[in-house]
Chain A
Amino acid sequence: MKDIPNEKFLLFKSCMVNVEYPGIESSTKYIFDKLGLDYIISPEQTCCTGLGHYSDVFDELSTTAIAARNFNLAKSLDHPNLVMLCSTCYAINKKSANILNNNDEVREKVNNIFIEAGLEDKCYNKGDTDSRENIFHVVEVLYNNRDKISDLCKYNLSDFRIATHHACHYCKVHYEDTVDGVRNPMLLDDLAEACGVDTVKWYDHKRLSCGNGFRQRFVNRDYSLEVTKEKLLSLKDENVDILLHMCPNCQIQYDRYQPVIEKQIGEKIGIYHLNVSQLIALSMGADPYTVAGIQTHSVKLEPILEKFKEIKEEGK
């Protein structure tokens, strides 16, 4: 398995976490604090260009230049390990680092942009940020600390039937760099297990995309929802209570559109959607509203909160 550091993290803000599920960021901070991890957040970090990039509006050079500026920021703050809340930030930043390190022509162009813009101090040197050694998804850091997480859990969630949705842009873009492969990813399942839950390890369509498809959600809504529905119905067949997420885009697709799909098909699906950081924070006893931020969800989570069972000390 690749080495995952436990310090000097720049926790990379995500545009969709910011405005849709801010509780993912606050839950991650809560867990990182409990684990005593060294991390910072910088207001000067800008977005990865995600939806702009994958709607084909952004060209590769512009996306790479934006990434180079963020890499420089992380280094200048002496926190060179970037850790992502969103799988698309993860995929784009890793690709940008690969381009900057392997493509001399693009690196030179990016540095010329900085020089022309009067930002010479931000020029990128080959190898400054390594895709494999410096860029991570939050889930990998949590996985690396799963034993400690297990010790910190105060609530037992074993009554729930949990399944996992491993984001495509984590598993499939840089598939050689994932912690446990692409065919049957178990990262989220192992983290749920650390919280005391036995998950539905495999289900039909486990590998299927959420259906967001970047442009598709916005300009081909019904087409996009066909894919989302396919996966939700296969989860319903498995009697799943909670679907665990690692990407805000997937979470929007399932949490916000599930009620839309239920209306379309005239059938209740009734699955709750949580990011893995929210689940872990709640298991550790975090406040559902001031830490996990569940008030921003479309599928209301109060019914599952009532079922959280406190773990008695002697049981640990």
Chain B
Amino acid sequence: MNTQKINENPLELAEVIIKNPRSSKDLGLLRCVQCGMCTSVCPAAKHSDYNPRDIIERVLEGDETIIKDETLWDCFYCYTCQSICPVGNSVCEVNQVLKQIAFDKDEVNDKLEPFANYGETYINQGTGSIPNNFIKDLARDFGPEWVNFKANLSSIRDELDLGPLNPPKKTVDEVDLILKYSGFQKRLKKIKNEEDDL
């Protein structure tokens, strides 16, 4: 069972969330009337124990144990809750901020680690891609035809008269520096449980 911490200022958690840069300027978190529209349209609520209305209730009660709630990770980030909310709240954004808070408190590395390779590729090539560790699963699902297409990608791109896949070295170097000074490289080391020698 979830425990509630009733502290002197139950809205402290909500205020921290609102101030987080990931929250939109007009996030209507404090205006939530608990109508439950978010839950009624949410695909995660339909197929798992995820309950967006309940998340906001706990946030507004100042229940900090919410950041450890496993169900947060069932969200699809489809923003359907946000699009239907009559008071301009976004459980989807609140959820993302709760995960950032959990990360800062060292709670969720194991959830992010499988996606660390996205960050590595971005730093090394200046481009996003599906993490290498998932390719085997995709090849199993998508079959030999897809594997074959991947092997011939550059000739297909040539046929379609498209430009290079990756940006030039100058751009990659710029991105590398930006992500160094933004703190992302340090963050990635933490996600990968590596020592920080930056």
Q: Which residues of A contact B (CB under 8 A)?
A: 13, 15, 18-19, 22-23, 25-26, 41, 43-52, 54-62, 64-66, 69, 95, 98-99, 102-103, 105-106, 112-114, 116-119, 168-169, 171-173, 175, 182, 207-209, 211-216, 218-221, 223-224, 226-227, 230, 256-257, 259-260, 289-291, 293, 295-296, 298
Contacts and interface: CB of A to CB of B under 8 A. Distances in A.
B47 A59 contact: no
Interface string B89-116: 0000000100110010000100110111
Contact of B180 (A117, A175, A216): A117
A295 B118 contact: no
Among A47, A106, A259, A291, max chain B CB count under 10 A is at A47
A252 to B, nearest CB: 9
A223 B47 contact: yes
Contacts of A55: 112, 115, 118
B74 interface: yes
Contacts of B80: 168, 172, 207-209
Contacts of B82: 172-173, 175
B194 to A, nearest CB: 14
B44 to A, nearest CB: 8
A213 B131 contact: no
Interface string B141-158: 111011001100100110
Contacts of B159: 289-290
A273 B168 CA distance: 33
A40 B21 CA distance: 32
Given A43-B163, A168-B79, A215-B73, A57 B119 contact: yes
B124 to A, nearest CB: 12
Contacts of B175: 46, 66, 69
Nearest to A116: B181
Contacts of B160: 22-23, 25-26, 290-291, 293
Contacts of B52: none
B9 interface: no
Nearest to B21: A60
A44 B171 CA distance: 6
A46 B118 contact: no
Contacts of A66: 175, 178-179
B156 A168 contact: no
Contacts of A41: 163
Interface of B: 20-22, 24-25, 41, 43-44, 47-48, 73-80, 82-83, 96, 99-100, 103, 108, 111-112, 114-116, 118-119, 122, 126-131, 134, 137-138, 141-143, 145-146, 149-150, 153, 156-157, 159-165, 167-168, 170-171, 174-175, 177-184, 187-188, 191
A54 to B, nearest CB: 5
The 8 closest A-B CB pairs, nearest first, are A209-B78, A213-B76, A172-B83, A55-B115, A117-B177, A47-B128, A172-B79, A15-B128
Contacts of A25: 160, 162
Contacts of A69: 174-175, 178
A47 to B, nearest CB: 4
Contact of B168 (A43, A99, A291): A43
B82 to A, nearest CB: 6
B159 to A, nearest CB: 5
15 contacts: A22-B153, A41-B163, A43-B167, A43-B171, A52-B118, A56-B108, A57-B118, A57-B191, A117-B174, A168-B80, A172-B82, A208-B43, A213-B77, A218-B131, A296-B156
A117 B181 contact: yes
A69 B147 CA distance: 34
